[in-house]
Amino acid sequence: MLLATVSAASAQSATVDSTFSPTTQLDARTSILSVVPPLKVSPFALSHQALARSSSGPWWAPLASAVVPGAGQAIQRKQRALPYVAAEAFLLVQFVDSRRTGRVQRSEYRDLAQIARSFFTDRFVVGDFEYYERMQHFIESGAFDVNPGGELEPEEDETTFNGTTWRLARLTYWEDPEVVPPRESEEFKRSIDFYSNRAIKEEFRWSWRNAQFEQDVFSRTIQRSNSAFRLSSQYLGVLIANHALSAVDAFITLRLSRRREPSHTYHIDASIPWAPFGRSPRPVLGNSGEP
């Protein structure tokens, strides 16, 4: 009888020791969470994000590069800003220098042209570019009208510019360039209109006769002027390309930097399972003692 009572008491004690109530589990979780330190945000992580935002620069950085190459890269704190600035400075200097050289050479060949024009006038009206180009290839312009005071009689000396122009008019409108049609005919009127619009007028007449050396210098000078202006156009094209390339570079840098920045805030929830003494928590028994 005594042995049975002791056994029953031992069994009841074992049952009590192996059973956890909800209050015991809550106290255990509270005690373990109090040991774990709270999560903290690293100050370095904040400064790194701020640096990432500042390195992308403001939204108008590409516009700054379009105006002044390298400005956007400088705002974005990129070392490649210096090559854009150096290229801009070099190209700008070369452009200005070539333009200045072209203007100087143009002034010189205009002065040389006055030598050939001085036989016919003392008022030197500035002509267009094609006029000086023609002076380069023809020794004389020829007379505009070989019969002043009457009806227009074109120059017929084909070694002159006007004589060549009149021959071209005859070949274009006459059936036979060697047979003169009636002056009242449509083909003759058209040829006269063609000649009048293209021939050199008297105020621009020239002659390089007895001035062959001056014509050679004139030809070389006009070629140097053309080369200088052509070179300035090339430098201008590269200048525009440098502006565009710097703006595109700044825009790509801005887009990539903004894409790497976090656009959302994430929360991390963690739970720590509690199993005291290496045992898993057992379900709480109800009043009936059944799970």
- Residue 148, pLDDT score: 86
Sign of CA dihedral 213, 217, 219, 220: positive
Report d(CA 258, CA 254) in Å as an integer. Answer: 6
Sign of CA dihedral 256, 257, 261, 263: negative
Report d(CA 259, CA 56) in Å as an integer. Answer: 10
Report d(CA 183, CA 268) in Å as an integer. Answer: 102
Residue 84, classified by CB atoms within 10 Å of its CB into exposed (0-12), middle (13-18) or buried (19+), is buried
Q: What's the Cα-to-Cα distance from 157 to each of 20, 146, 161, 163, 232, rounded to whole Å?
A: 128, 11, 9, 5, 39
Which residues are within 8 A (CB) of 201 and not within 5 positions of it... i.e. 6 or more apart?
144
Q: What is the pLDDT along the chain (291 residues), one digit of tens a residue?
A: 333 443 444 444 444 444 444 444 434 444 444 444 444 444 434 344 444 445 567 889 899 999 999 999 999 899 899 999 999 999 999 999 999 999 999 999 999 999 999 999 888 999 999 999 999 999 999 999 998 888 899 999 999 999 999 999 999 999 999 999 999 999 999 999 999 999 999 999 999 999 999 999 999 999 999 999 999 999 999 999 999 999 999 999 888 887 665 555 544 555 555 555 555 555 544 444 444
User: Among candidates 19, 243, 205, which has minimal Cα distance to 123?
Assistant: 205
